[in-house]
Chains A and B, each alone.
Chain A
Amino acid sequence: MMDFHTHLIFMKEVKDKERWDKVGKYFIYPDSKYPFGTRSMAEIEARMDFGGIDRIVVLPVDCERIRGEALLTNEEVKLLCGHSQRLIGFASVDPVKATVLDDLADANAMGLVGLKLDPGLQGFRLSDHLDHPMWKMVEGFHWPVVLHSGFTFAPGVTMYGSKLEEIEQLALRYPGINFVVAHWAFPWVMESVLIAIKNPNVFIDVSMAYFDNPRTYSKFILEKMISPSIAEKSVREKLIFGSNYPRVRMESLKSAYEAWPISDKAKRYLFEDNAARLLNTAHRG
């Protein structure tokens, strides 16, 4: 069982409190009276054990150019992976940086197995970089690419920072790359489903909850934005479980999706097989 979308931030193993406070201010809370404390790998593994989650994908975001501090660097992801064999490390690069191709090559040499981009948080537009040589490099690595899409709680970042239409353009241009639309592209859930139905190389991660609680939120998506029939018949091979931890607790969202009235087979695809399929492709590189 795999969680395909986590950000292991506030980890004491990789940054000190002062640097995490900088990340907290641009990613979580500009001015909170209750800033986060640091966390340990022991706590993460305890949470995974409790939730019955075997492995998690750790996603960095290279937003250093405009935020001053990356959410996680590729090196920090590698470092974290050294603390637990249950972590699967992805890379992030900034296409605006002159070093981007070298950064990609370094990440591949480090053993990272996928790419995460959050254009809104990173301060670029996908549409300005559709022909960037990095895509051919990513294709050569056989890496899946997770793209933030839709709404975000990140302060100062609009929900239009990474549009679905740009992702579809990428998917059409690079049929050899598997793209994962993060967070159902909420609120454009049906649009993301349609794009995933049509394009063999587009997947959806079901991470995040923006209101109520994980169970009510995931039920809202199933009953009000798509339907159990669509989930079962049209996109069961396209949905990938992810939590977006720490914004949502991985075990809470897992429990919410376990309650969906879909077949055991569809749940197996959701919680394991679809993600494994993408990662096996990655490992082939």
Chain B
Amino acid sequence: MIFKLFDFKIVTRSHCEMINITEQVRKCVEEAGVKNGFLHVMSKHTTVSVVVNEGFPCVEEDIVRHLEKLAPEDGDYIHNHYLPSDGCIAYNAPAHLKSILTGYFAYAPIEEKVLKIGSRMEFYLVELDGPKTRGYTIQVCGEQ
């Protein structure tokens, strides 16, 4: 049984955007050399999520647009106040709410060194409070 952890950093470019990381996930499976097992992709932030969905720009745009309706930027949030731990006011409650709606990790099984996901499933890192430097991990586990 092996556990291989891959750490990534990225500078996001927009306030809310979907970044397709499917190829990176596949490369991690290949590099880990796991024959049968599974992987997890995890965001290291409470305002960045990881989702799996269909890889069309129009779907990406609809997801971002719908999240904005569910947690609008100009909403009335208790979080909008001074946080001594941050030395500033917090005004990113919408990003936290979008994050819990979309989740911070994704899972997929591996069989015979192949990622066993549906043909239309792609992995996305979802920036909800950018632009920022963001981190995420891909952990591949299983037998060689």
Residues of A participating in the B interface, judged by any CB pair closer than 8 Å: 27-29, 32-34, 37, 39-40, 42-43, 46-47, 49-50, 153-155, 209-217, 246-248, 251-252
Contact = CB atoms under 8 A, between A and B. Distances in A.
A40 B91 contact: no
A46 B12 contact: yes
B131 A50 contact: yes
Nearest to A259: B74
B33 interface: no
Contacts of B133: 37, 39-40, 42-43
B74 A47 contact: no
B1 interface: no
Question: Considering residues B85, B91, B132, B133, which has the most beta carbons from chain A within 10 angstroms of its beta carbon?
Answer: B91
Contacts of B84: 29, 32
Contacts of B12: 46
B91 A29 contact: no
B53 interface: no
Contacts of A34: 85-86
A47 B131 contact: yes
B13 A29 contact: no
Contacts of A216: 80
A160 B119 CA distance: 64
**Interface size of B as a range:** 20 to 34
Contacts of A28: 86-88
B26 interface: no
A49 B85 contact: no
A42 B91 CA distance: 23
B3 to A, nearest CB: 25
Question: Considering residues B13, B14, B88, which has the most beta carbons from chain A within 10 angstroms of its beta carbon?
Answer: B88
B13 A248 contact: no
A213 B80 contact: yes
B85 A214 contact: no
Nearest to A249: B91
Contacts of B15: 50, 251
Contacts of A248: 88-89
B91 A247 contact: no
Given A213-B80, A216-B80, A46 B13 contact: yes
B58 interface: no
Contacts of A33: 85
Question: Considering residues A28, A40, A212, A213, which has the most beta carbons from chain B within 10 angstroms of its beta carbon?
Answer: A213
Nearest to A217: B89
Contacts of B86: 28-29, 32, 34
Nearest to B91: A213
Given A40-B11, A50-B131, A252 B88 contact: no
A215 B74 contact: yes
Question: Considering residues A40, A42, A47, A49, which has the most beta carbons from chain B within 10 angstroms of its beta carbon?
Answer: A47
Contacts of B80: 211-213, 216
A183 to B, nearest CB: 13
Interface in B123-142: 130-133
Question: Considering residues A43, A49, A248, which has the most beta carbons from chain B within 10 angstroms of its beta carbon?
Answer: A43
A60 to B, nearest CB: 18
Nearest to B79: A213
A39 to B, nearest CB: 6
